[in-house]
Structure 1
Amino acid sequence: MEVDCKPEDLSKCSYDERCVELGEVKDMRLEAEAVVNDVLFAVSDMHVSHNLSSGLDVAYINVETREGNRYCLELTEAGLKVVGHTFDKVNDGLSSQYHETVYSLLDSLSPGYREAFGNALLQRLERLKQNGQ
């Protein structure tokens, strides 16, 4: 991946660009906060778990879908996966696949998420259309 900033401009670069430039490992706690901020509008509740320990390599996110289903998600470099069916609870016997993005994971779990995401996209396109004319 090519980075479009110089080391002296690191404060102006995105978090991903800084990690590549400095050869750092991403802090999953920060990644988890970004995930929550990206999709909070399309779910009933979503927050980084304060009861499960997070670190550089793993973070846990609690999400309640618009249908009222609760999940505990694990975020690692491999992606996101469901690790429990209640907040702050990891079920080691649960076998679920990793998703590369939170969008893919929520799309597979929640029709309400798909609808909210689609509506938000349509609204944004309408605003762009109005601003372009």
Structure 2
Amino acid sequence: MTDTDKQGSGTCPCDSPAEDSGPVDAAAFLLEQAEDVGKDIGSCVNAVRLSATLEASAEAVYLNIETKEKSRYCIEVCPSGFRVVGYDYDTTSVTDEPYCETIYMLLDAVSPMYRFSFASSLASKLAQLSDSAVEENADEPSKLAQVGQCS
């Protein structure tokens, strides 16, 4: 993605689909991507859902997100990335917001509480992994001694 793509022009500058895939495949891919994003960030925002009002297409689908700060956004999801297109659910009045490569970059920019929630969630998952690694290696003292050592 180029810097020009990230800056946005009011429409989604989508790449042409491959010859063997059509608009239905592209739309299905975007819907799947948006659903995966919703599952991934769901615990770090108050609400996330696909727009029931704005039509999904091969060019874009729309997510409605409410941050922990209770700010509402309509987010465009397209091959160029993610961007805010509205400051309330199901609105597309904003045309000058830049594209972000990931939803995490976008939310990090608009929601300090997302950043904190994401960091807390990540720290918790890492602690769980560390605990399970220690438990798995408890019977093997030589491996346990190596956990956490750098070479």
| Partner in structure 1 of residue 91 of structure 2 | 89
Q: Which has the higher contact order (CA 8 A, sep 6+)?
A: 2
Q: Secondary structure at the match of 2:52?
A: coil
Would you identify which runs of 4 or more consecutive aligned residues in structure 1 move more than 2 Å?
22-27
- Residues 24-51 of structure 1, C-alpha deviations (whole Å, 9 max, x = no match): 4542112111111110110001101010
| 1:132 alignment partner, SS class | helix
Unaligned residue ranges in structure 1 (runs of 5+) = 1-19
Structure 1 contact 29–56 (Cα < 8 Å) conserved: no
The TM-score with structure 2 as length reference comes to 0.70
Identical columns (%): 32
Moved more, 23-32 or 121-130: 23-32
In structure 1, distance between residues paired with 2:80 and 2:20: 18
Structure 2 CA distance, aligned partners of 1:96 and 1:46?
Answer: 20
Given candidates 73, 95, 98, the residue that maps to 2:75 is: 73
Larger Rg, first or second structure (1 or 2): 2
The CA RMSD measured in Å over matched residues stands at 1.7
2:48 maps to 46
What corresponds to 1:8 in structure 2? none
* Cα deviation digits, residues 101-120 of structure 1 (max 9, x gap): 00000000101100110001
- The equivalent residue for 1:103 is 104
Q: Deviations over 1:55-87 (max 9, x none)?
A: 222100000000010000101100000000000
Aligned to 2:15: none
Q: Offset of 1:23 from its aligned partner?
A: 5.8
Give the structure 2 partner of residue 129 of structure 1: 130
Cα distance in 2 between the residues matched to 1:84 and 1:71 = 6
**Alpha-carbon distance in 2 for matches of 1:58, 1:30:** 12
- Paired residues, what number? 112
Q: Distance in 2 between matches of 1:80 and 1:119?
A: 23
Q: Which stretches in structure 2 are left out of the alignment for 5+ residues?
A: 1-17, 135-151
